[in-house]
Amino acid sequence: MARSRRCPAAGTTAATLLLLYLAQLGTGLKCVCQLCTNKTCETGADGACWNSVMLIDGKEEAVKSCLSPSEMKGQVFCYSSRNVSKRNCCFTDFCNNETLRLYPESPPRAPGWSKLELAAVLLVPLCLLCVGALLGVCTAHAKRCGRRRPHKHDAEDPPDDQSLMSPNKCLKDLIFDMSTSGSGSGLPLLVQRTIARTIVLQEIVGKGRYGEVWRGKWRGEDVAVKIFSSRDERSWFREAEIYQTILLRHENILGFIAADNKDNGSWTQLWLVSEYHEHGSLFDHLNRYAVSVDAMLLLALSIASGLAHLHMEIIGTQGKPAIAHRDLKSKNILVKKNGTAAVADLGLAVKHDSVTNSIDIPSNHRVGTKRYMAPEILDETINISNFELFKRADMYSLGLVFWELARRCSVRGIYEDYQLPYYDMVPSDPSIEDMRRIVCEQKLRPNIPNQWQSCEALRVMGKIMRECWYANGAARLTALRVKKTVSQVAVVPDVKD
Ligand code: ADP
Ligand code: MG
């Protein structure tokens, strides 16, 4: 814990300070608080006044506030760094009223301990609790994150691990840093590990093929943590690897934050940390709510944009390979607060190396979710060495997702109940054979209701679906084409993150 470098007025003994502190235990403290309306806050019983100075964008920034007992107890991480931050907790009214400085170093003074230093020594065990101080500063900074543009690093001078983890960083800053850290599309591994190990898990929000997804807290902000069982290590590694593909980051692809593998002696915990989206999956969302025409188009446009970015190859030394998802469905798409969507669950994705014309992992014919499998996957006629065919199979699945979405679109108060594709043709857990029979043999597709013709947006959506469902993959629309067609009918609002 950093100690104050200023000397308080003479005359008070360390014992008096200790007594004062003890007397105040159990009652609240009044502290200086810059962010509070009357510049004062009260801590409640067993809290502390908190004083800090940090280097932000090359400038010293002091933060003074109150710490609640829970903040002091909070499981927090502190990348304590000389010349980067200094923190001080104290336990008397307005004791944080002094301004800490990082520079210049305080002038040399006569030997001997000041009263405050003496008090600090006596209070060291108590001050250890103040590690919780970080939680306070992070909350304050998290608030500021929305307003402040992150510092733009010089491209030739990537931020080091220390500056990446400085306590003033919030998620937005870190995500911005990922594009400037010179490590592809992800943060340095040490930073990822540090983030993952300071997350406090809160509640389970989803279950999928590989384990549980939790909502967790990191520096006061929500994050999603996908926890894989140790036997699924390959899936964990694969998904983390895909998310860290250079230039993958996109507003309509789930924002990856960190991967961590922690051996606790008996088993290995495998975590994948990403941005958290409180509305959950598109499947959950559509089950709960009907959507307006504009909301439907915004979702459709953003899903197509995410998929188009995934499919796109960007040529160059720092280019992006084309990626096929291979498990596109409403449960693998998340709905963001601003009404747009993010494509998620990249665990089965494959990358294309256009130089060698190879796919990066040995593939088998059938992966993904049976209900959403394209006809050529169901009947195993797909040529798995031709990467283009995987993209076409994604387009078939996209058509099914659009169908789920369009059914829930409310026009003049009329909409349908939520249903999975082929709900009326196959059992609830269909086998490959069930699906093959109706999709390949009988060539059936989900029903497109007549009333969709009376609404321009639904008519366009219906046409897109049909053109995604052709048995001949080569005839299907591309993601880019779908994106362009939807954008012609959608009035795109000025969406903010
Ligand atoms: P799996 O690979 O096991 O299928 P997913 O990544 O698809 O795991 O996640 C399973 C479910 O967890 C999703 O359908 C969704 O309900 C929820 N979920 C996943 N990621 C997030 C997130 N970032 N924010 C909110 N909910 C999420
Ligand atoms: Mg999934």
CATH number assigned to the domain covering 280-497: 1.10.510.10
Q: Ligand 1 atom 1: the closest Cα is on which residue?
A: 208
- Give me the active site residues, please: 327
Cβ–ligand 1 contact at 226 (below 6 Å) = yes
Domain with CATH 1.10.510.10 in the chain: 280-497
> Which tens digits make up the pLDDT trace of 404-459?
999 999 999 999 999 999 999 999 999 999 999 999 999 999 999 999 999 999 99
CA distance 235 to 279: 25
Which has the closest alpha carbon to 395: 466, 487, 485, 291?
A: 466
Which has the closest alpha carbon to 300: 308, 289, 312, 311?
A: 308
**Contact indicator for 361, 387 with CB cutoff of 8 Å:** no
**pLDDT reported for residue 364:** 65
**Contact indicator for 73, 129 with CB cutoff of 8 Å:** yes
CA distance 411 to 408: 9
**pLDDT reported for residue 153:** 41
Q: What is the topology classification, in CATH, of domain 25-90?
A: CD59 (2.10.60)
Handedness of CA 430, 347, 385, 372 (dihedral sign): positive
Mutational test site, ligand 1, from 171, 199, 212, 213, max ligand atoms within 8 Å of CB: 213
Q: Ligand 1 atom 11: the closest Cα is on which residue?
A: 206
Domain with CATH 3.30.200.20 in the chain: 163-276
Residue numbers in the chain where pLDDT is lower than 50: 1-24, 73-83, 106-112, 114, 118, 127, 130-144, 146-156, 183
The CA-atom distances, in angstroms, between 125 and each of 27, 59, 68, 299, 476 are 20, 31, 18, 53, 68
**pLDDT reported for residue 363:** 67
**pLDDT reported for residue 163:** 64
Mutational test site, ligand 1, from 204, 226, 284, 326, max ligand atoms within 8 Å of CB: 226
Q: Ligand 1 atom 22: the closest Cα is on which residue?
A: 276
| C-alpha of residue 401 to centroid of ligand 2, in Å | 14
**Contact indicator for 348, 327 with CB cutoff of 8 Å:** yes
Report the interhelical angle of 387-407 vs 456-468 (nearest 10°).
150
| C-alpha of residue 334 to centroid of ligand 1, in Å | 8
Task: Considering every ligand atom shown, identify the ligand nearest to the alpha carbon of residue 225 and give its number.
Answer: 1
Domain with CATH 2.10.60.10 in the chain: 25-90
226 labelled ligand-binding? yes
To which CATH superfamily is domain 163-276 assigned?
A: Phosphorylase Kinase; domain 1 (3.30.200.20)
Cβ–ligand 1 contact at 368 (below 6 Å) = no
**pLDDT reported for residue 98:** 84
